[in-house]
Copies of this chain bind each other. A is one copy, B any other.
Amino acid sequence: MQFTAQEISFMLNGTVEGNPHATVNQLSKIEEASAGSLSFLANPKYEQYLYTTDASVVIINNDQQISEPVKAALIRVENAYSAFSILLEKYNSIKLNKTGIEQPSFIHPSAQVGENCYVGAFAYIGSGVKLGNNCKIYPQAYIAENVTIGDNVTLFPGVIVYFDCVIGSNVIIHSGAIIGSDGFGFAPAGDGTYNKISQIGNVIVEDDVEIGSNTTIDRATMGSTIIHKGVKLDNLLQIAHNVEIGANTVIAAQTGISGSTKIGENCIVGGQVGMVGHISVAKGSQIMAKSGINRNIVEENKKWGGIPFFSSYLDNMRVEVAVTHLPALEKKILELEKVITELRKINDSTI
């Protein structure tokens, strides 16, 4: 796609300075832009780039001062940053604006597919599925029996949703994520072997959730594993059976949450964190990367970290610093011992 400075200015309700016919076909950072790029300058601190950039068109704030000659065509707007964000979003929605049913795909006769949906080739939509409007089910995605999906949902290629799961509206699930596989539940049979405990619950993913690539969310043993409204999950997470994640909580990559643990609203959890099962984490908690959380967090809106006995974030930092002093500490104690031995000798001799 190619646009002129004039066309973009029109979209953004801006004013062109310089060549209105300058054309662009990609979006770039101002410091990395090549000819044909559209960039923006929002932070006056980076003004220098305006005079050196190879971008063909740059969006700037109405009040941006210009003190040297500029090669690029300029588009002046009220807020360059938000104007650029609007373009980013438009760009992506054009990229991803597919509709229609590609062949061959599998849609069970009893499945309901809403209006204006895309169903890619080799996608599978099972019996009793209810799919809302404006959904994009990419190739090789799988939606099992009796799954319900709201409006404006995107399942990227290779997403798997097991039977009976419920997905809200405005949800984005990236490739390879598995929703609703069996929880890890086995009962010892007494002879060293294990009997499988049937996992008959489901997963509920509420509105406005985004789930990263190759993340796994297990179905509940009974009842539901619940990902509440607005939660954002990164790649390669493990969410075990009967876990509940509160609204607007954000979790970074490769973290694992064990069975039946409940995380409150508005938490921020770093990458590679592990949480044991059957605990509660208070709302607003922030957990540093790589932590091991093995008991309830009751106080709200605090930072925590450490392995495996976590303490408050600051306590943990003090411990971590102290640990690095340990080898020196050991030497010091040996020296103390020598001093004391000498003191004793002196004392012995003085008595």
Contacts and interface: CB of A to CB of B under 8 A. Distances in A.
A347 to B, nearest CB: 5
A10 B42 CA distance: 70
A222 interface: yes
Contacts of A297: none
Interface stretch (A14-22, A63-71, A72-80, A118-126): A118-126
A303 interface: no
Contacts of A88: 197-198, 200
B266 A192 contact: yes
Interface residues of A, number: 110
A256 interface: yes
Given A192-B248, A292-B290, A340 B343 contact: yes
Q: Which of A223, A290, A351 has the most CB of B within 10 A?
A: A290
Contact of A178 (B176, B252, B319, B340): B176
B340 A337 contact: no
A163 B139 CA distance: 13
Contact of A156 (B160, B290, B343): B160
A265 B309 CA distance: 29
- How many copies of this chain does one complex carry? 3
Nearest to A349: B351
Given A163-B95, A289-B274, A309-B324, A32 B176 contact: no
Contacts of A120: 124
Contacts of A214: 176, 178, 214, 216, 236
Given A176-B178, A181-B156, A235-B238, A311 B323 contact: no
A337 B321 CA distance: 21
A182 interface: yes
Interface string A122-156: 10100000000000001110101100000000001
Given A106-B121, A322-B330, 20 more contacts: A89-B198, A120-B124, A144-B157, A156-B162, A158-B160, A162-B175, A184-B253, A186-B250, A212-B216, A216-B235, A216-B236, A218-B235, A254-B254, A272-B272, A272-B274, A274-B290, A309-B321, A309-B324, A321-B327, A340-B340
30 contacts: A27-B222, A28-B222, A28-B223, A29-B223, A91-B198, A92-B198, A92-B200, A102-B106, A106-B139, A122-B140, A124-B139, A156-B162, A172-B196, A181-B213, A193-B208, A214-B214, A216-B253, A218-B235, A236-B256, A272-B272, A289-B308, A309-B320, A315-B324, A315-B327, A319-B323, A322-B326, A322-B330, A332-B333, A332-B337, A343-B344
